[in-house]
Chain A
Amino acid sequence: MSDFLAFRSANTARSFTLLGLGAVLGLGIAGYALFTAPGTSTLIVAPEDVASVNQRPVSRIDFDAQLRTLYDVSPTEATPEQRKHVLEAMIREEIFVQRGIELDAAGADPAARAALVSAVEQQIVAESQTKQPTPADLEAFYRQNQAKYMSEGTMIVRDLVAATPDQAAGALQALRAKAPLDTTMAKFGLKDTGRTKDEEYYFAARIHLGDADFAVAQKLAAGDISEPLVRPDGVHLLVMSRNAPPVALAFAVAQERVVTDWRQANGARLLKGDETFLRKRANVLIAEDLR
């Protein structure tokens, strides 16, 4: 033993022992790397999986989720039959998916093609979703897209209609002279069309009045009455009681929407970039008549 550990002098047994140890260690490391590298064919199911089908993993997270969805039980609570049923269903799905790839299902089946396109789009966008915007990113996006972050704009407007231009002109004169509305309507035979009612958002008022009359109404301040508007059903007067045009929302108010929009814009940009790259990489030949 003392000779074995006497490193100043040569020792054949020590040399062979260290050589053997080194070889065993090397083989151990190589074997470990070989059998644990992703995609390596092994007989071992990884702890995060519940099965492996032709080296394709069947995820334990998905298995647990299926148990909860189908039986409302946790993996511990599940009976052996429930576990077996879910596992068999998941293995069957994986086998059929693999067979579908072999048969080039995406080449012929429109539903499979659409699902594949959607899956690839999602994968591209998913990468962008894990990137978090900084407060500076959000504020810059908010400033660049200020027009999107406006209040809705509201108005209270009555749409009155007279049978003749004279009646409308008389009513307009009376109303601008501050005559009471009800009296004036009765005196000049004006009727409320009922197209607008109470306070409305701008978008609703536009739908109810139509684009042309809404454009007139939008310019009226509270207390204003429009010039007579000649329309097929008579001569209209718009009486504005309140008009609150859209105003810019403060960043704090719009922040939640800004985050959502920032993510969408980021995803769309990434999708476009990936599509450009894929198009460049693809060998696309176009028929002569469509060039």
Chain B
Amino acid sequence: MKPRTAALLGLAALLAGAGAWMWHGRDLDRRMVMADPDVLPADLFAHAVPLGRETFAAHCASCHGADGKGDSARGVPSLVDIDRLYGAGTVGDIEQIIAHGIRAANGKSRAFAIMPAYATARPSPTEAIPPLTPGDISDVIDYLLKTGNPESARRGATIFGDRGGCFDCHGADAKGDPAVGVPDLTDAIWLSGDGSRDALYNTIARGSAGMCPAWLGTLDARALRATAVYVHSLSHPATPPLPSR
């Protein structure tokens, strides 16, 4: 075979290979977007993770950190633990949050509750919650941290379950409510601060209402799905295939 002929055939083979590779990639994208996110097959998971990692680095890492560990000083949750603020932490739940955000300017955003600022005249902009005194806040902290004298912790429990209105979101057992994005106060994972007395005071006195932008519109369905899969993989490293709900 003449060199020119061989080159032509080689070029044709290269083009055919590139076409097949592109078709395969597009097919994976299509299947990934159409699949049930919570039971993604292994090949789609493997396809999604690198793409999701790339999107995460470009759009999410500036708040959640390159390693996804969050920043408690800014009230940004870690994504590497299994403690989820919203939902059950499935890929579907994560995808919803990435698409519509939390307290974002999006009609479908999750914005059910905020942490009131109890050291202000009007702790909540929407609910009729009375302010607390410095002593009240100290008692609630004693109750949550199980510190101080038993009497102050008992007073704190009363405030938590009564006039403070804390029970309304965090639950009577203080274990939070993932349906409305309210953190568990009984475990060792803190959304804001390090769980110290000062950090708790800062949150109770001054409130908290973190937000996550709504990425739908900025990211396409493929990137949204892939990012959700990647974020899920951070807390479930040996994942594929993803467990069913």
Interface residues of A (CB under 8 A from B): 5, 7, 47-48, 59-62, 64-65, 68, 74-77, 119, 121-126, 129-130, 132, 152, 154, 198-201, 203-204, 207, 252-253, 255-257, 259-260, 263, 267
Interface residues of B (CB under 8 A from A): 2, 4-5, 8, 29-31, 33-34, 36-39, 59, 62-63, 73-75, 90, 92, 95-96, 99, 101, 104-108, 119-121, 131, 133-135, 192, 198, 202, 205-206, 208-211, 213-218, 220-222, 224, 244-245
Find chain A residues with CB under 8 A from B211 CB: 129, 260, 263
- In angstroms, how far is the closest chain A Cβ from the Cβ of B209? 6
Contact A60 B75 (CB under 8 A): no
- In angstroms, how far is the closest chain A Cβ from the Cβ of B167? 23
Specify which of A129, A204, A256, A257 lies most central, judged by the most chain B CB atoms within 10 Å of its CB: A256
Give complex CA distance A204, B96 in Å: 41
Give complex CA distance A92, B112 in Å: 27
Whose C-beta in chain A lies nearest to the C-beta of B208? Answer: A256
Give complex CA distance A59, B225 in Å: 13
Give complex CA distance A124, B106 in Å: 10
Contact B29 A47 (CB under 8 A): yes
Contact A259 B96 (CB under 8 A): no
Contact A256 B33 (CB under 8 A): no
- In angstroms, how far is the closest chain B Cβ from the Cβ of A124? 8
- In angstroms, how far is the closest chain B Cβ from the Cβ of A217? 16
Contact A256 B213 (CB under 8 A): no
Find chain B residues with CB under 8 A from A60 CB: 33-34, 221
Whose C-beta in chain A lies nearest to the C-beta of B26? Answer: A47
18 contacts between A and B (CB under 8 A): A5-B5, A48-B33, A48-B221, A76-B38, A122-B105, A122-B107, A123-B105, A124-B105, A126-B104, A130-B215, A201-B134, A203-B120, A203-B131, A255-B74, A256-B74, A256-B210, A260-B209, A260-B210
Find chain A residues with CB under 8 A from B95 CB: 61, 64
Task: State the 9 A-B residue pairs at the shortest beta-carbon distance, nearest first.
Answer: A48-B221, A122-B105, A132-B62, A125-B105, A76-B36, A129-B213, A126-B105, A47-B30, A75-B36
Give complex CA distance A184, B92 in Å: 70
15 additional contacts (CB under 8 A) given A119-B107, A123-B105, A203-B121? A47-B33, A48-B221, A61-B216, A76-B36, A122-B105, A125-B105, A129-B105, A152-B205, A200-B134, A201-B131, A203-B120, A255-B73, A256-B75, A257-B206, A260-B210
Find chain B residues with CB under 8 A from A75 CB: 36
Contact B105 A267 (CB under 8 A): yes
Contact A201 B133 (CB under 8 A): yes
Whose C-beta in chain A lies nearest to the C-beta of B27? Answer: A47
Give complex CA distance A60, B62 in Å: 28
Q: Report if A61-B96 is in contact (Cβ < 8 Å); known contacts: A129-B211, A203-B120.
A: yes
